[in-house]
Structure 1
Amino acid sequence: MTKLAIITGAAGGIGQALLAEFAETGHRLVAVDLPGSGVAEILAPYGAEHLSYELDLGDEAQIAAFWSWFDAQNAPVDVLVNNAALGPSMAPTLETPLSDFRRTFQVNIYGPFAMAREAAKRMQPGGVIVNTASQAGVLGNPRRNAYAASKAALISMTKSLAAEWASKGIRVNAVAPGYIRTPMVAELERSGKADLALVRQRIPLGRIGRPDEIASVLAWLASPQARYVTGSVVAVDGGWQAFNQPGHAHPPVDGAPPAELARPAAREGARVVLITGSGRGIGAATARRFAKAGDSLILVDREGAEVLAAELGPQHLGLNLDLTEDAAVERLFAGIAARFGRVDVMVNNAAVADQFKPAFEQSGEDLARTLEVNVTAAFHCARESLRLMPAGGGVIVNIGSINSFLPFAPRHAYGASKAAIDVMTRCLAAELGPEGRRVVTVAPGYMRTPATADLEAQGRIDIKAIRRRIPMGDMGRPEDIADAVWFAASEKASYFSGAILYVDGGWTSFGNAGVASGDDSDPQDFSL
């Protein structure tokens, strides 16, 4: 059945890219924008089956009229993209009228809330709402009080709605773009409120993003491949938030780089992908996902990697080895250089759990065991992979954890190791961005893996209690992480760097006292 996507702000830069992205995936479109925006003419080339509607999201009466009109179409609503926004005025605080401040909130938060509320009333399980937030809602900016505060409000609302509606099978996520080449940014440059040459020097990737680079992430979050992602706010900013030192993140750029103006030609041929911890669980699922895409794999684990590689085909290499043995890792990369000549994607997945001991009983040796595998070996593999990555490209995906965002007692070593991974991702992204390389973290929540089953069998975790703590009411699947890793390493994620994608069923969005979901005797599956 054809799915329907409502897209607000459809006549703008990101909005038009969203129309193209959702049309490409076979959605029926309802394009919404201001009166006089020309949204009907913009939508016309996509065909008569698509619909347009003009309204001002700052007017609740117009929003009510839209939904009355929509109901008359006898159409389902599967996806809502809250993309419309009133841009920053850049006025000094003392020169900002309260009427302007209120108008920004009316369009940027009240309007999206009303649209989400009405869409959710009409959605079946499997429905998705995605919001276009902003890095301005995460980082402070002078003279952007109303805009930045409204986007921070939208980010918070994304999480609270995700936690509330997870039991209904409705997912809610957001993307926080950095500087994107849109009419809004062009107007800031024209009016002298933004120096784009200086902006490019502040971005590790050295360029402003394209609208399609935001649309592709929003569309992925709305897709079945993101079925366990809810309450996530994904920073898509070229590494802006990962850079934290005086000076410039990128050397001066002469004009707009080609990749800022148009999507580069699609890459042809198989990539060479190295995946550690790939003998079972998340690593094995990730290997299968990349193999399905036709990539050539190097699989490494203490055990199971050789068997899986043989199962997937003779073009793949599987090696059983201990990544804490430095000499073995050096031999591994010498062998990769000899057989494959390069590494295009490195997935740092290998990890061990800690001992669950109270702090009074933990020793430095206990900490070292976990940190050696989870952090030092990951750094070693990342460093050696960089030596083999082609100039101007390459992606490193580090597997993090919800355990770094919300540490668990007494899992001191594991939480510390995953916090280290998160920040190492940012450091690498800030350093390697000027070389055209991306580094990201995918952070799983609780997954149905052999490792989780082992912890349950040992009595170290309570699966029923865990399910009640997850807004979606159940643990995820290894394939959920595999899909996220594959997307993060793809060209569709080309402006996603130095940031975290949480795949946790809403775990990190829930801050209430009590349980996040109801009785877990019959976990629900909303992967429609």
Structure 2
Amino acid sequence: MTEQEKVVVITGAAGGIGRALCEGFIADGYCVAAVDRDGEALHALMMQLGAGHQGFTCDLSSETQIVKSVGRIASHFGRIDVLVNNAAVGPTMESTEQTSVAGFEQALAVNAVGPMLMAREVSRYMGDTGGAIVNVASLAGLIANPRRNAYAASKAAVLSMTRSLACEWAHRRIRVVAVAPGYVMTPMVADLERHGKVDLSRARQRIPMGRLARPDEIAAAVRFLASPRAAYITGTELVVDGGWACFNQPGDAHPSVPLPPVAENRRDVSEARPRVVVVTGGGRGIGAEIARSFRDHGDQVIVLDREAGDMSLDLRSEQAVCEAFERIGERFGRIDVLINNAAVADTFMPAQEQGSDYLMNILNTNLTAAFVCSREALKCMSGNGSVIINLGSINSFRPFAPRHAYGASKAGLEMLSRCQAAELAEQGVRVVTLAPGYIHTAGTAELEAAGRIDANLIRRRIPLGRFGQPQDIAEAALFLASGEASYINGSTLYVDGGWTAFSNAGDAAILSHEEHSA
């Protein structure tokens, strides 16, 4: 390997998702250290991966083997840049009465303790430039199911450790994030069906997108989170479940399909074409950077903004919005991506001074306008990869006082995304929420100049110790709108430097003099 080649350690490398991870990271230019307990399967994998990569047999339930294996990896490659904790033992589907303590402890040892120890050891070899650790958890760690006791508990433990490690290691420039897959068509899941422990036809009907994920779709999410494009993302999990977690009513989320959908086994490789992208509030700040990034990507971008844009209009006017989207449809024939970015902040007034006009103005601008834009854009969307991205906020997760209306509007927008994701998936439209934390824009600079915020106090509250940049949000938007995010539906991606992961007393970051002055 050359000095420039980065090294990724992938556990469970010989499994379905593991193989997709290896192939994806190799395509990204990484050298792969493949770790698996099954030596025979690992040898077969290494024969396929070719020169420059190396396999390491390791039982993740053994701390001794983990320490030795990571030491061998570091000695062989000379560096470690990324760790993907992918290995796990699957659910036994046994009842509580049938579950033995030995089986429960085995799931905890492999699925929770193993990833923690791998992270501990790998972190010793991540240099001054830091690195990324991506834990492959599970939707089972977020939503309960019967007969998943040990497996679900272990995955919830991984999600918790993701947040706590992200906060502890942020000062070392080590980002820790997680991916929470839903049902994935892997050999493990196929084995569950073969033994009558799961009915995949019923599972497909419960998923708004009507199919299971492919391993490469999970790998794509992992690769994005591990990349420099996700430099302001830490301490959060990205749910990749086709919308499963968004469906909350009796009956089926998707009509029954007689055969496994083609997209479950093969990615659409049809020729890409420039997309028609509509960005609201794209005249300045984050919106302007999102618009610029999509244009640089080769897409046709239309900016809707009250002050500056391709179409100037007040998004609170239903008639103006309807007319604008009608003109877009007439001119371009379609809309592929809608990004609802337009929003107004509140003015930090005490609750006693907040009247109905004040509250409704914020709710209508941030929430109702986004709904109307989505409704009208749908009339021009053909499905088949269409995407709606709603710009949420950390305030929807951790509200601030006295920013009552703003937090409420963003919480409402996130729930709107989830409702529409469950409804529109059958039409081929994905809906996701992108939730920024504190981003360095002209708006935040104005708040600081007016004494509304204390920038240094905020930086100390952010584990990464800094504000994000508009480009951080634009990169996330580009990913979420891409084919790489084809199974992400109804999820919220926090791009907040770890803000939502930190719940301790005191400061999340210790700032240097230079950082205080930044």
TM-score (structure 2 length as normaliser) = 0.97
Q: CA RMSD in A?
A: 1.2
Matched residue, 2:482: 490
Cα contact 2:385–2:483 (8 A) shared by 1: no
Cα contact 1:11–1:37 (8 A) shared by 2: no
The CA distance in 2 between the partners of 1:37 and 1:9, in whole Å, is 13
Cα contact 1:443–1:500 (8 A) shared by 2: yes
Give the superposition deviation at 1:521.
3.2
DSSP-derived class of the 1:215 partner: helix
DSSP-derived class of the 1:48 partner: coil
Cα contact 2:33–2:73 (8 A) shared by 1: no
Give the superposition deviation at 1:51.
0.7
Task: State whether structure 2 residue 232 is matched by structure 1 residue 240.
Answer: no
The CA distance in 2 between the partners of 1:393 and 1:216, in whole Å, is 16
Give the superposition deviation at 1:377.
0.5
Task: State whether structure 2 residue 137 is matched by structure 1 residue 145.
Answer: no
Q: How does 1:52-71 map to 2 (within 5 A)?
A: 52-71=55-74
Matched residue, 2:368: 376
Task: State whether structure 2 residue 428 is matched by structure 1 residue 429.
Answer: no
Give the superposition deviation at 1:333.
1.0
Q: Which one of the candidate residues 157, 160, 172 is aligned to 1:156? A: 160
The amino acid that maps onto 2:84 is V
Give the superposition deviation at 1:73.
1.5
Q: Which one of the candidate residues 274, 278, 298 is aligned to 1:274? A: 278
The CA distance in 1 between the partners of 2:138 and 2:516, in whole Å, is 32
Task: State whether structure 2 residue 194 is matched by structure 1 residue 186.
Answer: no
Would the alpha carbon gap of residues 100 and 465 (structure 1) be closer, same or farther in structure 2, given more than 3 Å must change?
same
Q: How does 1:50-89 map to 2 (within 5 A)?
A: 50-89=53-92
Q: Which one of the candidate residues 90, 98, 103 is aligned to 1:100? A: 103
Give the superposition deviation at 1:360.
0.8
The CA distance in 2 between the partners of 1:252 and 1:199, in whole Å, is 10
Matched residue, 1:387: 379
Matched residue, 2:344: 352
Q: Structure 1: which 4+ aligned runs deviate by more than 3 Å? A: none
Matched residue, 1:315: none
User: Which runs of 5 or more residues in structure 2 are unaligned?
Assistant: none
DSSP-derived class of the 1:388 partner: coil
Deviations 1:348-372 (A, max 9, x none): 0000001211111110111111011
Cα contact 1:216–1:492 (8 A) shared by 2: yes
Q: Which one of the candidate residues 326, 329, 343 is aligned to 1:334? A: 326
Give the superposition deviation at 1:450.
1.2
Matched residue, 1:474: 466
Cα contact 1:129–1:173 (8 A) shared by 2: yes
Matched residue, 2:404: 412
Q: Identical aligned pairs, as a percentage?
A: 54
Task: State whether structure 2 residue 26 is matched by structure 1 residue 34.
Answer: no
The CA distance in 2 between the partners of 1:40 and 1:338, in whole Å, is 57
The CA distance in 2 between the partners of 1:163 and 1:524, in whole Å, is 19
Matched residue, 1:298: 302
Give the superposition deviation at 1:503.
0.2
Task: State whether structure 2 residue 11 is matched by structure 1 residue 19.
Answer: no
DSSP-derived class of the 1:90 partner: coil
Task: State whether structure 2 residue 123 is matched by structure 1 residue 120.
Answer: yes
The amino acid that maps onto 2:308 is G
Cα contact 1:468–1:520 (8 A) shared by 2: no
DSSP-derived class of the 1:522 partner: helix
Count of residue pairs brought into register by the alignment = 513
The CA distance in 1 between the partners of 2:80 and 2:173, in whole Å, is 14
Matched residue, 1:463: 455
Deviations 1:263-284 (A, max 9, x none): 1114421000000010011101
DSSP-derived class of the 1:523 partner: helix
The CA distance in 2 between the partners of 1:304 and 1:40, in whole Å, is 59
Cα contact 1:355–1:366 (8 A) shared by 2: no
Cα contact 2:177–2:225 (8 A) shared by 1: yes
The amino acid that maps onto 2:136 is T
The amino acid that maps onto 1:160 is S
